[in-house]
Amino acid sequence: MIGNVAPNNEYQTREDKAAGRPVRQKIDQVTGKRQWKATVTDPDEPTAKRVSFEITLIAEVQPVPTTTKVLPGMRPIELDGLTAEPRVAGNGEFKYQSYVYRATGFSARASAAGTRPSQSIKPSGAAGSGEQPGKAA
C-alpha cells in the first residue's frame, strides 16, 4: 500500500463548495457502510499504466493496516473480503478490461514480508560459541 487510507468522498460541485456545504463520504449501496480508498501497487504487473491502482475498503470506521512500513510511505498489506469486479476502461477504440477492487479491511495476521531477519548470527569465535579464550582443552 502506498500512503494512507482516506475517505472516499462524493463529488462536490463548485456551488456546493461556495455554499459551504459539508463534504459527504460515499456509502456502499449494498452494506450501508462507509467507503474508504487506498492506493496499492502490484510490482508483478508488466504494464506500467496498471501497476498502481485504488482499492475501495468498505467499513464503518477507517481501516488501519497492521503491518509496518518497509519503505517511506509503503507497507505490505493483506486484505480481508477482497472482491474483483470486471469493468471496461479506456476511451474510444483504446478500451481494455479493468477491475474494481473492494475489500472489507486488513488482515490481522502478521505477514513475514515486512519483517527483518533477526541478528542472531554471530561471527565465528565470538563470545557464546562455547569456547573460552586462553584455556586449552
Place of cell 519483517: 115
What's the pLDDT at 132? 40
Contact assessment for residue 41 and residue 2, using Cβ atoms and an 8 Å cutoff: yes
Q: Is 17 helix (H, G, I), strand (E, B) or coil?
A: helix
**Residues in the chain, total:** 137
What's the pLDDT at 130? 41
The DSSP symbol for 34 reads B
What's the pLDDT at 134? 43
What's the pLDDT at 61? 95
Nearest to 59, CA basis, from 13, 19, 109, 25: 25
Place of cell 471496461: 88
- Provide Rg for the chain, Cα atoms: 24
Q: Which three cell numbers stand for residue 37?
A: 480508498
Q: Which three cell numbers stand for residue 134?
A: 586462553
d(Cα 17, Cα 22) in Å, to the nearest integer? 8
Per-residue pLDDT of the chain (137 residues; tens, 9 = 90+): 999 999 999 999 999 999 999 999 999 999 999 999 999 998 898 988 889 999 999 999 999 998 999 999 899 999 999 999 999 988 999 998 889 999 999 987 654 444 444 443 434 444 443 444 444 44
